[in-house]
Amino acid sequence: MRLTAILPFSILLASCASTASTESFNVDQALEYCNTQVHRSLAALGADSTDYTMMPRNIQGTDSAWACRKASPDEWCSGFWPGILWYDFESSRDEIVREEAERYTEALEYLSQRPAFDHDLGFLMFCSYGNAYRLTGCPKFRDIILASADTLATLFNPKVGTILSWPRNVEMLGGHNTIMDNMINLEMLFWASKNGGDKRLYDIALKHAETTMEYHFRPDGTCYHVAVYDPESGKFIKGMTHQGYSDSSTWARGQAWAVYGYTMVFRETQDRRFLDLACKVTDAYLKRLPEDYVPYWDFDDPAIPDAPRDASAAGVVASALLELQAYVTPEKRDEYRDAAVKMLASLSSDEYRSGDKRHSFLDHSTGHKPAGSEIDAAIVYADYYYIEALLRLKKLETNSAVLANL
């Protein structure tokens, strides 16, 4: 969520030589568009008086309004809508949006007082309360994040050296399972360790990142979705997929989580090994993109070019690259910035924007294709990482000294 350092930046749209349409992309207009869509969503959600425990999840088929799900430990997307509202408030300073952000965020408080259901507690609590605390400094929000970080840490298995991502799937997957998505949730542990929480949380996050670096990647820099370990000996058993095309394929959002996750881990540790890996997994991702810089849902689906896209992966990677570019050589910096801008330009085009048709920001994400779920849909986390990326780009354009203080 946070960026710590930036370099002077001007976006050279003219140098973007791809079919991604950058000419019409304007970050201020894109953020205004997000604010318009947020108000359309809030109006629809409040039409029968708002139930703040019902969180937007997706918009499918010909629907225009969000299908909502009850905020709960097993509804992993519940923190994204409050997070979107906080980001929109940060951009627009719209007080109505801030009040709604606070109400939706507070609907999640009870999750900080329960045992961990799975690793998604990080997505749930850090996208919501993390942004809430970053923008308000309210101590109550910090305390809720600290409690959540302690809870997430209970899933760490020191014999393996990672967090157990899905306790419910140990039998089905054949052991202690860790998924690449789990990398994102280390951010809450790093944050807690330096904001009044237990210092051990840093060690857990570091060990998880090291173990994942060792076992979760193929020699070419692509990753498995799931790594399975023996919970007693800690031995790596196998790499496999859950949401991708096959065990040997590269699921686009899994690779996106790796790009974002290792960029964040480098920021938090300043350990060069993680920067090298972040660049390697990024380069593996970039070289497999289609011309408009929005990936097919899995890079190895044989149905390509007739396979669905995943706009959410593009949003995650665009946001990550706008951070990663600050840590690399000038040559790499230009490459990563240009790629991020191309991704955001494509996502902001009529091809991917929901526009008047739906209340979401973006169409064309894919949730869980093997399960037949959320295919070519608007999905709330795509919007979360899109607006996060737009804000990062805006801050780079205006060259603000500190991008965020979380």
- Interface with ligand GLY (CB under 6 A): 181, 243, 253, 367
Sheet with 176-179: strands ordered across: 176-179, 226-229, 236-240
Question: Is 143 annotated in the active site?
Answer: no
Q: Quick one: residue 67, left, alpha or beta (phi over 0 = left, psi -120 to 50 = alpha)?
A: beta
Q: How far is the CB of 401 from ligand GLY (least distance, A)?
A: 33
The SS3 call for residue 17 is: coil
> Residue written as tokens 């749930």?
124
Q: Which tokens go with 271?
A: 């350990």
The residue number with the shortest CB distance to ligand GLY is 181
The C-alpha atoms of residue 111 and residue 75 are separated, in whole angstroms, by 11
Question: Is 181 annotated in the active site?
Answer: yes
Q: For ligand GLY, give the closer residue by CB, 106 or 181.
A: 181
Q: How far is the CB of 167 from ligand GLY (least distance, A)?
A: 15
Q: Which tokens go with 256?
A: 């996106």
Distance (Å) of CA 232 to CA 100, 157, 373: 46, 9, 34
Q: How far is the CB of 200 from ligand GLY (least distance, A)?
A: 25
Q: Which helix (H) or strand (E) holds 229?
A: strand 226-229
Query: In the chain, count of helices (H) and strands (E)?
Result: 14, 8
Q: For ligand GLY, give the closer residue by CB, 326 or 387.
A: 387
Q: How far is the CB of 13 from ligand GLY (least distance, A)?
A: 31
Q: For ligand GLY, give the closer residue by CB, 253 or 280.
A: 253
Please pick, among 88, 118, 181, 376, the residue that the annotation labels catalytic: 181
Please pick, among 120, 298, 310, 363, the residue that the annotation labels catalytic: 120
> Residue written as tokens 């019902």?
54
Q: For ligand GLY, give the closer residue by CB, 105 or 312.
A: 312
Q: For ligand GLY, give the closer residue by CB, 148 or 243.
A: 243
The C-alpha atoms of residue 54 and residue 363 are separated, in whole angstroms, by 21
Q: Which amino acid is at 370?
A: P
- Interstrand relation of 162-163 and 176-179 (parallel, antiparallel or unpaired): unpaired
Distance (Å) of CA 390 to CA 117, 127, 217, 328, 387: 32, 16, 29, 21, 5
Q: How far is the CB of 316 from ligand GLY (least distance, A)?
A: 9
Q: For ligand GLY, give the closer residue by CB, 181 or 376.
A: 181
Q: How far is the CB of 367 from ligand GLY (least distance, A)?
A: 6
Residues annotated catalytic, as ranges:
120, 181
